[in-house]
A and B are shown apart, each in its own frame.
Chain A
Amino acid sequence: MAKIVTTAAFFVALTAPAFATPAPAPELGTSALGFLLASGVAYLLNRRAGK
């Protein structure tokens, strides 16, 4: 039981700061246009994989 509690406490302590850190700016591809471009490349690669 003590091991479980210690592990859980360690996990919480380890992960807590991560969620307080703000996301960086700029992030790669954060627009719908970026998604469309990336989808286009994914489509082309998928088509090549199908050949």
Chain B
Amino acid sequence: MIEASGIRARPPVVARFLEAIGDPSDRLLLAAFFLSVFSLDYLPQVFAATGSFPTTEFIGFAAIAIVLQRLGADRLLRRWDYIALFVASAVLLHPWRHTGGLALTGVGLLFCLRKDRRLAALGQLSLALAVLDIWGQMELTAIEAKLVPIEAWLAYIPLSLLDSFALLGNSIFHPDGREVSVEGSCSAFRNMLAVALLWLSFMKIRNLEYSLRSLGALAAGLVMVVLVNTLRIDLCAWSAENFQYWHEGPGVGVLSMTMLVLALAIFYVGLAGADDRSAP
């Protein structure tokens, strides 16, 4: 391809790339930021030795990608936003594991109350990811002493109907004297946060406004998590063999998948048929 001037024209892809770099759109800047956080903090978890897959966080980023797609070529960021994104990106350079969570918190607070639905959605999703990564864990540490006995009491109710179990604080005593203690790490709290992130992601993917129906779906998801976790504590307390299976063995994966499938079913039924009052 030779232009009239005799200078070889750039292939369209290269020309588009150079144009994008020379005058980046808001979407490109935001995509670069979220892609950095995803690649630095979340993608490595897939290859981690523990082998656990960050499903809810990945769905959160999928929702961010879909919202970014809706952003199109619109110019929505203000001068201060560019500076904030620059600072947040610079923070990511630090190797501390939770810098991504801090950067997401800053960007989330900046965007979550914007009038533009798409920017607000990005802010809310950022905050939800940050809560799951940092702030939720901190909150659990703060309320653990009060929360865990309540969860132990919930688990004790069905057990007390079936046999002569006893409850003392956060410990459930089997009739044969065996004791099962409900620790903070056994709490349903983190899974409730994960379910809330899943719900928010689906809300943004579906492009819905908050309504009684959608909030009802969230409430149903949260209740489901508490019930499944209570059932798990009951199964662990029932016998030593059960404890081994449901706490250390394949039962962990079974309950993990059960919770996810139930949450997906509840949210699909709750959100798929809801009225789409989407704005842009």
Contacts and interface: CB of A to CB of B under 8 A. Distances in A.
A37 B191 CA distance: 17
Contacts, number: 130
Contacts of A4: none
A37 to B, nearest CB: 6
A21 interface: yes
Contact of B260 (A18, A21, A25, A34): A34
A19 B253 CA distance: 24
Contacts of B191: 24, 27-28
A23 interface: yes
Interface in B190-231: 190-191, 194-195, 198, 201-202, 205-208, 225
Nearest to A36: B55
A28 B225 contact: yes
A12 to B, nearest CB: 12
A46 B208 CA distance: 11
A14 B141 CA distance: 10
B66 A22 contact: no
Contacts of B189: 24
Interface residues of B, number: 52
Contacts of B62: 39, 42
29 contacts: A14-B138, A15-B138, A18-B137, A19-B97, A19-B137, A24-B187, A26-B232, A26-B252, A26-B255, A26-B256, A26-B259, A27-B52, A27-B190, A28-B260, A29-B55, A30-B253, A30-B256, A31-B55, A35-B53, A39-B59, A41-B202, A41-B267, A42-B59, A42-B62, A44-B268, A44-B272, A45-B202, A45-B268, A51-B276
Interface of A: 14-15, 17-19, 21-35, 37-39, 41-42, 44-46, 48-49, 51
